[in-house]
């Protein structure tokens, strides 16, 4: 006698295979979203550190940097619209805070060694350079 239809065992096996595929798909999508968010934050930190470095190098004098600091450190806020404010205002006129830290020490009278550290959502970006003017 021939059986027609699907048995219970075949149905359970097919449902298990379908659940494994769905589980793998959800994990892949979740990991992809985490990676996209991480790359977005790191790219923003990299751009911000580059902008801060260029502002300090080319638009600020050593004397201005020394005057704005306390204990060889300047702390600025890291906020969403900081790039817009950097276009229109001086770096040293931005709001004080802890998101962007600028450390420096006097190597000589001619140079200033500067370290820029930026924090955001558990990530850190650091950049060092020497200012000569």
Q: Each residue's pLDDT tens digit in the chain (133 positions)?
A: 566 667 888 899 999 999 999 999 999 999 999 999 999 999 999 999 999 999 999 998 888 888 888 888 999 999 999 999 999 998 888 889 889 999 988 766 778 899 999 999 999 999 999 888 6
pTM: 0.77
**Triad 26, 33, 43: Cα angle to 5°:** 165
């Amino acid at each position: 006698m021939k059986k027609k239809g699907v048995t219970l065992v075949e149905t359970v096996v097919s449902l298990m295979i379908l659940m494994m595929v769905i589980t793998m798909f959800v994990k892949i999508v979740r990991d992809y979203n985490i990676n996209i968010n991480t790359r977005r934050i790191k790219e923003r930190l990299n751009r911000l550190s580059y902008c801060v470095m260029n502002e300090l190098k080319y638009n600020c004098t050593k004397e201005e940097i020394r005057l704005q600091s306390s204990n060889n450190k300047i702390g600025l806020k890291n906020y969403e619209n900081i790039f817009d404010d950097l276009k229109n205002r001086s770096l040293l006129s931005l709001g004080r805070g802890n998101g962007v830290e600028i450390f420096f020490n006097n190597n000589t009278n001619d140079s200033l060694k500067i370290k820029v550290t930026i924090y955001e959502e558990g990530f850190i970006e650091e950049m060092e350079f020497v200012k000569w003017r």
